[in-house]
Structures are given as structure tokens and as C-alpha cells.
A and B are shown apart, each in its own frame.
Chain A
Amino acid sequence: MSLSLTGVSVDYDGVPAVVDVSLELPAGQVLAVLGPSGSGKSTLLRAVAGLEPARGTIAWAGEDLAHVPTHKRGFALMFQDGQLFTHLTVARNVGYALRLRRARDTATRVRDLLALVGLEGYDDRLPSTLSGGERQRVALARSLAVEPRLLLLDEPLSALDAGLRERLAGELREILVTAGTTALMVTHDHEEAYTVADRLAVMRDGRLVQSGAIDEVWRAPVDPATALFLGYARVLEGPAAARLLIAAGLAPARAVAVRRSALTVDVSPPAALTRGDPLVGVVVSARVTPDQVRLVVDLEGLGELDAVAAVDTHPSAGEPVRLSVDRSRLAVIG
């Protein structure tokens, strides 16, 4: 019982939108397809749902779905803005698929589902009276009602504002785990992917560039663009990369991706922490945030890089500083 894509391609009017994508999604797991807008990730999702004609093989549990129409695939699709049926109440939206199947005890199921998404008592409201977050919860409940073999989520949280998005991402994860749902989610937000998914697939220009367990992908991005997209602040290449890796006590490599917090202003006695060559530089600018001081430092042989300092230190522009490197916040790009 798993979704497997083999060499899937989709064209729009002769323009390739998805090119030769192969993926495996084991049952019970949540896969996030991460990519910038226009990377073809939504098209891939629509192809899996059966809404776009695709070449290659899309199979569930070994069965090729090429000739199975959308409504017989047993997948549920949840859109970015929910796409609730505006003429139906919340309860009738959630119970829609149950009524199609003439399921018994629809009312109880609907109540359970609304409870699952935290919307008890919303039964008779109309979608137009709900907030964006509530609509998404209803859409999720509606999708879960059919107990889909696979839940397809198209940017489920993107339409919401930042705070709500963060909270709902955590809840979405919990709900999916509770329901034991296999899910394929596309998103452009790496934080959302990390919160909700077990596995990650990165798409760019219609191609799958990398996939694997979240931490695998995260620790070893396959190329500089992927690293930047995954939230790394900068990518150093060539001599600069070698210089930083040596300073971190690692073997030199072609390129290295650096988190904002990889470099810390070193206030401890010299040589106590730094394993390799010490890094020295001049502060270009400093901004105080509640957690740390964010700096831009001009480093010898490396150019300008981001760095952080503890809030109680006050390095100011033009001040020379020593920096130590946190290896866990670097990713070597082979």
C-alpha cells in the first residue's frame, strides 16, 4: 500500500510543467513536495489526483491509475483556500462525500470530524461566515470524512497569516498522525514542510532534485539552489568554502551552505573553542533582536557573512571580532 510515481511528466500546451518525476510514498507517511512557485509541484499533485493528463506511471499499491478517473481514485484533495461549497453549511460540506456514498450514521461521523478539527458546534454555519483558518479546518474535515487512501494537500496553509499558519501546521500534523493518514502535501514554505511532513521532495523547474527523510535532505542539500530554498542563509563556493570548512575542522569541499547562526562571535578565551584556523573579521552592521544580536561581518578571505552574538554582547560596526563555527549548522554540498 503505497503511492509510487515512475517517470511522470505533464505538459501544458507543449510546455513541460513536470518532467520525469519518480517518487515513493509508503502508507502512513506524510510527504511534503517543496518547491518555489512555478516549480510544477501543484501540477504534480493534480496529476496524482487525476486532474491532469500525465505520461509515466502513477500507481497505488501496484495498480496503475492511468485509466481511473478522479472520483474513483479514493484520494481526497484539499485546496489552498479550501474550496468549500459555498451553498452548503459546514456540516453538509463535511458530510458531502458520506452522502454520496449513502453512508450510515453520517451525522455522528460529521460531529466526530468537526471535533477532530476543533470546530464543535459549527454545523449550521455557512462557509462565508468563517475565518480563513476555520475554512481550512472544515476543508480538512471534509477531506478526512471519506477516509481517503491518500490525502492530497495543495498549499493547505499558505492562505493563512503567519501566526495561525504555524499553529495550524502543528495541529495538522497531529490530526494526520491521529487519523493515520497517508498524505502528499505541496508547499513553498520549508518551515511548514518540516512541521507537517516525514519526508521531503524538492522540485525545481518541473524536476525532482532531491528526496528523502526530512533530516537527510536537510543535512545534505544536493546543490546550492536547494540549500538556499531549504532555508540556508548563504552558500560559499570554491576557496571561500574550503576556508570556512577548514576553520570548522572539516575536510574541504566544493561548496558549503551556511545557516545564519553558523558563525558566533567568540567571547571565550582564544583557542579554547576553535579547532582549526581562527576566523577573524570586522563587523559591518549589527541589529539587536530579542534572542540574539544579528550581525553582518566582513571576514578575511570569505567576504561578508551573517553571524550572531549573544544579546549581552554589543559588537558595533567597525569593531574587529573573532568567530567560531558551529558545524551542525553547516551543510557540505558534495
Chain B
Amino acid sequence: MTTWRRPVTLIGLALVPVAVLGVFFVLPVSGMVARGFWPDGDFAPGEVLDVLTRPRTGRVVWFTVWSAGVATLLAVAVGLPAAYVLHRLDFPLRRAVRAALLVPFVLPTVVVGVAFRQLLGEAGPLGFLGLDGTPVAILAGLVFFNAAVVIRAVGASWESMDARPAEAAAALGASPRQVFLTVTLPSLRPAIVSAASVVFLFCATSFGVVLTLGGTQYSSVETEIYLLTTDLLDLPGAAALSIVQLVAVVVLLAIAGRLRASADPSIVRVPARPRRPRRSDLGQLVATGLLLVFVAAPLVTLLVGSLQVGDAWSLDNYRALTTTGSQQALLVPVTEALATSLRTAVDATWMSLSLGLLVALAVTRRWRSRAERRIRGLLDGFFMLPLGVSAATLGFGFLITLDSPPLDLRDSPLLVPLAQALVALPLVVRTLVPVLDGIDDRQRQAAASLGAGPLRAVMTVDLPVLWKPLVAASGFAFAASLGEFGATAFLARDDHPTLPVVIFRLIGHPGAMNYGMALAASVVLAVTTAVVMAAVERLRVPSLGAI
């Protein structure tokens, strides 16, 4: 192979996704930011700086940091014992419990918000606690959502952990507690740190949960951007907060990348087989059981609530989904919104999948020189950006930058799917990259040496390994798109709303019927995503959701 063909191939692979991300991500986000600095076409950074010194901004930033920090600590605290129980112990129904605890992760944020309001609200079973509208409710929602991330990431690491170093330590006289502190915990640390940083990121940029549970009283940076742009039309304020968030996210992603564990390839690991629970596991088992209750409670309340009208059991809330609600809450029936959601999700899926596949291929090619590897690292980070940039920023950026030729897409039916595809892109990339990385290049070389051309080599070596993760990633992208709320809240046209947008509108409108419809629609949305994710889960792709 000639020397210039390698870089050309790499650039060719990366070109399309880079261009797409450039036009549909960098441009809108920077457009949004620029709108703040150049409010009337003149450079006036003073306004942005003014925003940063407002007391309310300080409160919002502080609330974001502490709520995300506390939620992260709580998620790790409840996630660790469950990760141990679900990945190191063997007991009946283990797979079912594991699947149940992962459900929240794929639930649309709006659904989580509605479910917690139903649980903690005045009429809810836990209404007597008076937690509705308090930061505690927001924290509960965030932990509910993110414990699954910790279980997934730490559990995978725990499961593949070699039991022998711990055994060696025990044989050297370390008690179980000492073994945990000196051997197990240090080996888990990279997984815990990276899970915690992702959880912090999710919590700090959480939109749906905070917006539905916090109202206007408690606002995070993300919801504040939304409120400033939609309600107050304060663009410099929104831009300033977007910049703060962007900088924080980039820093956090960089730190997380540094901390990502690199396995020592010279060590052969022998994963331990899960064993039967012992009496000493009681504490962890109880903690897992409580977590299960914590996860089930809001969902059960949501389901029960959706099946009740007044005090009687009824399916009327579901029947009402074919209507537009009372007092003209909606422009279209909920069922039509569901159809829109599904159509949008299909489009978003093929977009994010084709982009993600190109990115994954480009990033996992064997990069030989140091410069090549540096480019690889940059690309890798670049495509992770949508993970942390406020979806609201992205959505609003779309509105203000893609409104004139040649990029007049405001009325294009592809606008919403495109934004959702970008939000789902990191998930797709993170599912595919470990799989492609795991293919030993010598397999391709062996195929080539046996006479297989490049295409044939891909068919023989890559495709058999890749098809399952591809299907899994598309399901994941589909589910993420179904539940996407932040960017869609801006972009969806009133006559073509998606289901999460409709749910948010319904809970914002007075009227028992509207609220009942919101509950029913939430159940429909939750069931749809859960079914997609359950199907995907059956494919058993380990890297799925390991961000």
C-alpha cells in the first residue's frame, strides 16, 4: 500500500461526519453563542459579563453544581452494592432484576419527571412527605435516572475483574474488608470515576427532570437557558450560560478521558464466575432490594394513576389519547404525536447510525504515527461533545442559524431528527468503538494473507462481530430519540409535536383530564422505549450504554 493512501482513507472516512457535525452542531452552537456576544451585530461582551454577575446566575450555577454533585454521590452509593449483587452473585431472577434496574436509564426524562410528581405530589402515595417541588424531588429523579449508569459501568468492570488478586491478598492475611479497600476498590476506581463523571455530566445537563420537577423555583443551567430564551427572550443571558456550560463540559470530558482506564494487555484476566450469595452479602442484597423498590415506586404510581379517573378504575385516560385534551391543550391528538415520534425516531436512527459507523470506523483504524493518534484522540473527543452540550443550546442554535438559504431548514421535517441524531451520536459511537477496537488487526491480516480483498476481509472479520452491536446501537438511538426532549422542545412545530413535548404541554395545562392524559401518554412512551430496549438487551452487547 502506498504511504499516502492511509491518511487519505482516514480523512475520507472522517470527512462526512466531521462536516455534518460542523454544520449541524458547531455552527448552531457557535451561532447561539455569537448571538450573545454580538446582540445587535456589534461586539458587546459587556452584556454577557453582566449576566455572569447576576445573583440569579450565581444561584443557578451553584444549584447545578451541588445538585449534580450530590446526585452523583448518591447514584454511586446506591449503584455500587447493586453492581456487586447483579454482577458477582448468582441467584434466581438475576437477569430480570438487572433488566428492571436498567429501565430508568432509557426512560424519557419527561416520563421520569411525571412519575415522580405523581409519586410525591399532594395526592400521591408519598405526598405526606411534602417533597413535591423541593430539591429532594429533583435529586430523587436524578438518582433514579443515573443509578443505572453506575450499575452498568461499574458492574461490567466488576464482572470482568480477575478474582485472583483478591484471593492472593486474602491468602496474605487481608480480611474481606481489607481486600475490598486495598485490592477491589483500586481496580474498580477507573470505572467508578468514569461512571461518576458521566453521571455528573448527565445530572448537570439534565433538562427534563429538572424542568418537570423544579418548575421555575429551582433551575439548573440547562433549564435556565431554556427559560431565558423561550420565556424571557434574554439571548445574551442564554448565551453566557451556554458558554459556561460548554467550557465546563469540555473540561469534564477531558478529565474523564484522562482517567479512562487503559488495561495492561500483558495480563491475562480470568473473570470469576458469579457465586451463590452468602450471609456476608446480606447488606448488599438489602441495598439492591431497596433500590428496586425506589425504581419501581414511581413507575407503579404512574401506571396506577394512568388507570384511574377520579377514584375509579378506568381506561378513559387512554381513550382520551385520541383527542386534543380539554381546553384546547393540544393542536393534535396524542396518537398523532406518537406517530410523529416514531417517524422522527426512525429518521434520527438511520442518521445517527450511519454517522456513528463512519466515526467508529475512522477512530478505530490503526493509527500509526503519533500525529495520527493525536488526531484520533481529537476526533474521539469531538464526537463526544453533543453528550455534554446543552440540548437546549443546540435546539435554539438550530433555530437561529439554520433559518436562511442555503441552510433554510426551519420547516424541513428532517430538522428534529437531525438534532436528535446528534444527541444520540455519542451513544452509537460508544457502543461501536469498543467492539471495533476489540478486533485484533491480525485477523484482518490473516484474512488478507489467505487471499481476501479489503471488502472480503471486512465481511469475514468485522461484520460477524459488528452486526449485533449495530442493531443494538440502532435500538439505543431509537429509544434515545423517542425520549429526547431538550432540543425537540425548541424545534418541534406546534402542529407536529413529539410525544415528550405533548406530555410536557399536558402537565402544564390545568384540568384533571389533561393530567390523566399526560400519565397515560407517559405510560405509552415508557412502554414503547422499554420494549425497544428489552429487545436490544437480548442481543447482549456488553459495550451498550458504557459511555
By a beta-carbon cutoff of 8 Å, the part of chain A in contact with chain B is: 46, 49-51, 69-79, 81, 83-87, 96-97, 100-101, 128, 139, 142-143, 145-146, 152
Contacts and interface: CB of A to CB of B under 8 A. Distances in A.
Interface stretch (B229-237, B263-271, B444-452): B263-271
A152 B179 CA distance: 19
Chain B interface, DSSP helix/strand/loop, else mixed: helix
Interface stretch (B10-18, B160-168, B392-400): B160-168
Nearest to A92: B182
A100 B183 contact: no
B216 interface: no
Interface stretch (B169-177, B379-387, B473-481, B535-543): B169-177
Contact of A83 (B165, B173, B176, B182): B165
Contact of A76 (B165, B172, B179, B187): B172
B413 interface: no
B316 to A, nearest CB: 54
B182 A71 contact: no
Nearest to B162: A83
A100 B264 CA distance: 26
B164 A70 contact: no
B377 interface: no
Given A81-B267, A87-B187, A71 B174 contact: yes
B178 interface: yes
A49 B164 CA distance: 12
A83 B169 CA distance: 9
Given A87-B187, A96-B169, A81 B268 contact: yes
Contacts of B266: 128
- Per CB-CB distance, the 4 closest pairs between chain A and chain B, nearest first, are A77-B171, A97-B172, A70-B170, A83-B164
Contacts of B173: 71-72, 74, 97, 100-101, 146
Most chain B CB atoms below 10 A, which of A46, A71, A76:
A71
Contact of A75 (B171, B183, B186): B171
24 contacts: A50-B170, A51-B170, A69-B170, A70-B170, A71-B169, A71-B172, A71-B175, A71-B178, A77-B171, A77-B172, A79-B167, A79-B168, A83-B164, A83-B168, A85-B169, A85-B183, A86-B187, A86-B264, A96-B172, A100-B178, A100-B182, A128-B266, A128-B267, A143-B172
B186 A77 contact: no
Contacts of A49: 167, 171
A71 B183 contact: no
A71 B162 CA distance: 18
Nearest to A130: B266
A70 B264 contact: no
Contact of B172 (A81, A86, A146): A146
Chain A interface, DSSP helix/strand/loop, else mixed: mixed
Nearest to A84: B165
Nearest to A75: B171
Contacts of A73: 171
Nearest to A159: B268
B264 A71 contact: no
Most chain A CB atoms below 10 A, which of B162, B167, B178:
B167
A145 B165 CA distance: 16
Contacts of A85: 165, 169, 182-183, 186
A156 to B, nearest CB: 12
Contacts of A84: 165
Contacts of A79: 164, 167-168
Given A81-B267, A86-B264, A87-B186, A71 B170 contact: yes
B193 to A, nearest CB: 13
A75 to B, nearest CB: 6
Given A100-B178, A128-B264, 5 more contacts: A71-B171, A77-B171, A79-B168, A97-B174, A142-B172
A19 B166 CA distance: 27
A152 B268 contact: no
Contact of B168 (A50, A77, A145): A77
B160 to A, nearest CB: 14
Most chain A CB atoms below 10 A, which of B165, B168, B178:
B168
B171 A86 contact: no
Contacts of A72: 173
A127 to B, nearest CB: 8
A122 B101 CA distance: 46
B101 to A, nearest CB: 27
Most chain B CB atoms below 10 A, which of A69, A81, A128, A152:
A81
A143 B264 CA distance: 23
B169 to A, nearest CB: 7
Interface string B169-205: 1111111101100110011000000000000000000
A51 B267 CA distance: 22
Interface in B145-166: 162, 164-165
A49 B268 CA distance: 22
B174 A77 contact: no
Nearest to B186: A87
A198 B183 CA distance: 34
B284 to A, nearest CB: 18
A117 to B, nearest CB: 16
Contacts of B162: 83
B452 to A, nearest CB: 33
B189 to A, nearest CB: 8
